[in-house]
Amino acid sequence: MAALHISEQSLTATALPSKTDENQLGKKIVVRLPVLFCGLLLAVVANSHAEELPANLDWLEVVAFARHQTDYSGVFVYQYDNRVETTSIVHVNQPDGEYEKLESLDGPQREIISHDGRIWGFVNHKMVQLGSNYGHGNFPSLLPEQLAALKANYKAKLLGVARVAGYNTQVILFKPIDNLRYAHEIWVHTDSGLLLKAAVLGDNNKVEEQYAFTQLQIGGKIDRSWIKECDKAAAKLKDAPPANADIKPINSGWVADMLPSGFKKTLEIERLMHGRHAPVTQMVFSDGLSSISIFIEPNDRDEDDEDGLSSRGAVNLYHKVMDKELITVVGEVPPRTVIQVLDSVRYNGK
């Protein structure tokens, strides 16, 4: 008896009636008249559920704009891989551009300030430049082509209103057209357009990572004393090379044939990377919401780096040695996608 029961259970996955299978439904209507009534009923119910709104992409422009133009301070939690991190953030606009300060509230103390495309951090009580924000300048960087790509690769759906950190938000779901990318759900403050919560959803709607403000002050009196310190440190480094001196655009001749549809190349550069002797080629592809980077470098690393897949939250990384090159694919896309992309990387000559 028990055995029979188990086998029944394993059948369920295939035996469930598919609610969208209207072709099948159509056949039934032709063959079996009594079903007609039920079919009609189904169709009516199905229609009442199809309240998909076509274009909710205006929201995104608001989000991209608000992210830069609003002064705010608050605390948000970031959850990934069964971990939770709490971070405070201050974002202000000054005459000479945007300033943003992030401070980790748990674990080792970390503080990051970004301004003018540069990222600063305190290491041993000294402010040093950690990196740059090449892609995102001081202005809303949501380009029309990015919006168009997003529209082609995701279905936007308004899911109603919800409260986050005491504010009313509009919930929007971006459902991907295939299973090679994650779904994204965002909670946008209805008044300011600030992104108050965001979740990346994988298979079975599993939350791969999410972040949410727990406390937020929009506008009003915001502490700006730290800006002076940042400017002082920046002034000392006036002679330092510009942030992107070690980066140059190239045409490497490398291609990836199996990128999911809709991923367009946004960048191809040669750059120096920490601990590497030779420059590394980096290609970046975007589908409007997610992006994939491909790194190609000569395999001259001493340690035996085994091939493999690793992940942190929604970001997956896969690397593999192909002939003489070490190839690494990173992106906020499912594991199957980084593997598929890497396996299709080849040199196409110059």
Give the residue, chosen from 93, 97, 134, 162, that forms a contact with other proteins under the rule CB under 8 A.
134
Q: Is 231 helix (H, G, I), strand (E, B) or coil?
A: helix
Cβ-based nearer residue to other proteins, 259 or 269:
269
Cβ-based nearer residue to other proteins, 317 or 349:
317
Q: Does 136 bind other proteins (CB under 8 A)?
A: yes
Contact residues for 32 (Cβ-Cβ < 8 A; gap 6+): none
Q: Does 207 bind other proteins (CB under 8 A)?
A: no
CA distance 1 to 292: 51
User: Binding string to other proteins for residues 152 to 191, with x set by CB under 8 A, is what?
Assistant: ---------------------------x----x-x-----
Is 332 within 8 Å of 289 (Cβ atoms)? Answer: no
Give the residue, chosen from 56, 62, 64, 167, that forms a contact with other proteins under the rule CB under 8 A.
64
What does the block give as tokens for 262? 């809709």
Q: Is 129 helix (H, G, I), strand (E, B) or coil?
A: strand
What does the block give as tokens for 348? 């196409």
User: Binding string to other proteins for residues 290 to 319, with x set by CB under 8 A, is what?
Assistant: xx-x-x------------xxxxxxxxxx-x
Cβ-based nearer residue to other proteins, 132 or 168:
132
**Could you tell me the smallest distance in angstroms from the CB atom of residue 181 to other proteins?**
11
- Give 199's strand partners: 185, 210
CA distance 5 to 275: 58
Q: Does 332 bind other proteins (CB under 8 A)?
A: yes
Return the number of other C-beta atoms located less than 10 Å from residue 342's C-beta.
22
The 10 Å CB-count burial string (b at 16+, else e) for 71-104 is: bbbbbbbbbbeeeeeebebbbbeeeeebbbbbbe
Instruction: Answer positive or negative: Cα dihedral of 37, 38, 41, 46.
Output: negative
**Could you tell me the smallest distance in angstroms from the CB atom of residue 289 to other proteins?**
5
Q: Binding to other proteins (CB under 8 A): which residues in 243-262?
A: none
Contact region with other proteins (CB under 8 A), list: 162-170, 231-239, 250-258, 329-337: 329-337
Contact region with other proteins (CB under 8 A), list: 10-18, 163-171, 218-226, 251-259: 10-18
- Measured CA distances, 318 to 34, 70, 173, 179, 276 (Å): 55, 37, 28, 18, 18
**Could you tell me the smallest distance in angstroms from the CB atom of residue 35 to other proteins?**
5
CA 170 from centroid of its chain's CA atoms = 19
CA distance 123 to 145: 39
Q: Binding to other proteins (CB under 8 A): which residues in 28-47?
A: 28, 32-35, 38-39, 41-42, 45
Cβ-based nearer residue to other proteins, 65 or 231:
65
Give the residue, chosen from 23, 47, 205, 348, that forms a contact with other proteins under the rule CB under 8 A.
205
How many residues form the binding site for other proteins (CB under 8 A)?
A: 109
Q: Binding to other proteins (CB under 8 A): which residues in 66-125?
A: 67-68, 76, 78, 81, 85, 87, 89, 100, 102, 104, 108, 110, 112, 114, 119, 121, 123
